[in-house]
Amino acid sequence: MRGWFTGRLPEGLFTALVEVTVDREEITVIGRIPEPELAEEVSTDEREAALDGRIAEFRERTREDRVAVAREAERRFGRKVSWGVECGGVRALYTNVSVPVMTRLRQPERRVLDTLVAGGVARSRSDALAWCVRLVQRNTDTWLTDLRDSLEHVERVRSQGPDTPAE
């Protein structure tokens, strides 16, 4: 998919295609955009405001092009397309898919979620569960990366198996 997006994105849309992430429901495309030119002595607040402004400007200016590419990709790959940018070390995601996930939890697990709600960390059990997933994601990034790499290797081996149509 990264190759398809690399070839399909309008010339000059991004200075670089940073990442194309795919799961069962969504494709997230993140590209780098140029930073605004600022004097070296600007404050941190002014720099952050300039980056936010550049990201917002890019989003509005490129909306039609991004929607056209997304529609084509959604037909081709059967997944929704979400967009994001990196600018000056800031990553911003535009619309992205929020997918409900069903799970069964026993009382000790529910108590963890209820404690997060009671402590004001989350508004609901659903928010608390999402918070827990983000915490695990941040603290186990290396492990998850290794696991994803292993899964990609398994998929490559499966694709070479006897059930694969001959070319």
pLDDT in tens, 43-54: 999 999 999 999
Query: Could you give the CA distance from residue 21 to residue 38 in angstroms, rounded to a whole number?
Result: 32
Can you give the length of the chain in residues?
A: 167
Q: Compute the average pLDDT of residues 61-80.
A: 96
pLDDT of residue 142: 81
Query: What does the pLDDT average to over 92-112?
Result: 89
* Residue 62 DSSP SS3: coil
- pLDDT score for 139: 77
CB 5 within 8 A of CB 16: no
pTM given for the model: 0.70
CA–CA distance, 22 with 28 (Å, rounded to integer): 6
